[in-house]
Amino acid sequence: MKKQAGIMGLSFFLVLFSFAVGGLLEGNSGQVIQTIGQGEVNWTTSVIRALGSGAPSPSSPNISVARLGAERAAKVDAMRNLLETIKGVRIDSETTVVNAMTQSDVIQSRVQGFVRGAKVVDKKYFDDGGVEVIIEMPITGELADILLPATGGQSAPSAGSPIYTGLIIDTKGLELHPAMSPKVIDEEGREVYGSAYVSREFAIQQGIVGYGKDVEVARQNERVANNPIIVKGIKTEGSGNSNVVISSSDATMLRDSSRNLSFLSQCRVMFVVD
């Protein structure tokens, strides 16, 4: 038994190591990934994933029953880890999901129910009967509907023929932390973009902002293509460092009604981060 436990422990360590250095699933090069506990948030693809492990019961009557029990245990463990990962996600620069859950029983109940709908996207079996699974859920859609603040109420400028199709803000070097509902602020502290300027429908479907690691790659992203405005962030703002401050001149340009920035209401905004 000690030998089997050692093998299981080593296998689990190897999976966690690969998770830490490259994400839970392959093919995520150049994406913005935040590790939280036994899970990760991929801010580029708007997906939350978590890892869970389960061991076979020594009292199982046969191998098949033991493996089935291990799979169930692994999924329960993964859902628990997914919930803990979601709790660590920033809604905005001041609030995490766990803060919102603490303040509202309704939000807590809805988030817990949301986790139960997670799907298994990868599964590994070990010689000793142990199982590890990876489950995932989108940040957009139902979770965004639960957590995003009220949107709208202010109108983005809209006049004439469209000139720009989106906004890219380069925040490299600012150590900006991703969030579901960040703000863009000018040097005087006035909000230029945020939940007050967007359609809730678009915010729920695709998030208030997208995240990438390269400006040129972001240029080609369908969220902002074909002719995005590109501005440089000056600094971060807020206790969570999730809001970005831009220059007053760039803010003025974004507020210029002659440039038709109706794309803001459609959440056609990306942050490029380190």
pLDDT of residue 16: 44
* 228: in domain: yes
Q: Report helix, strand or coil for 53.
A: strand
Do residue 206 and residue 113 come from a single domain? no
12: part of which helix (H) or strand (E)?
Answer: helix 2-22
Cα separation of the two ends of the chain: 45
Look up the pTM and report it: 0.84
**Full domain range(s) for residue 193:** 166-272
Q: What's the pLDDT tens digit per position in 209-257?
A: 999 999 999 999 999 988 999 999 999 999 999 999 999 999 988 887 5
Let me know: does 58 contact 46? Beta carbons within 8 Å: no
Hey, what are 71's tokens? 């799979």
Hey, what are 22's tokens? 């490259």
Tell which wins on pLDDT, 73 or 22.
73
Cis peptide before 81 (omega within 30 of 0): no
Q: Between helices 63-87 and 105-115, what is the axis angle to 10°?
A: 140
- Point out the domain boundary residue: 147, 177, 195: 147
Do residue 87 and residue 138 come from a single domain? yes
The angle at the Cα of 29, spanning 26 to 32, to the nearest 5 degrees, equals 105
- Rounded Cα distance, 159 and 208, in Å: 22
Q: What's the pLDDT tens digit per position in 69-80?
A: 999 999 999 999
Do residue 70 and residue 120 come from a single domain? yes
* 155: in domain: no
pLDDT of residue 25: 55
* 72: in domain: yes
Q: Report helix, strand or coil for 145.
A: helix
- Point out the domain boundary residue: 83, 113, 147: 147
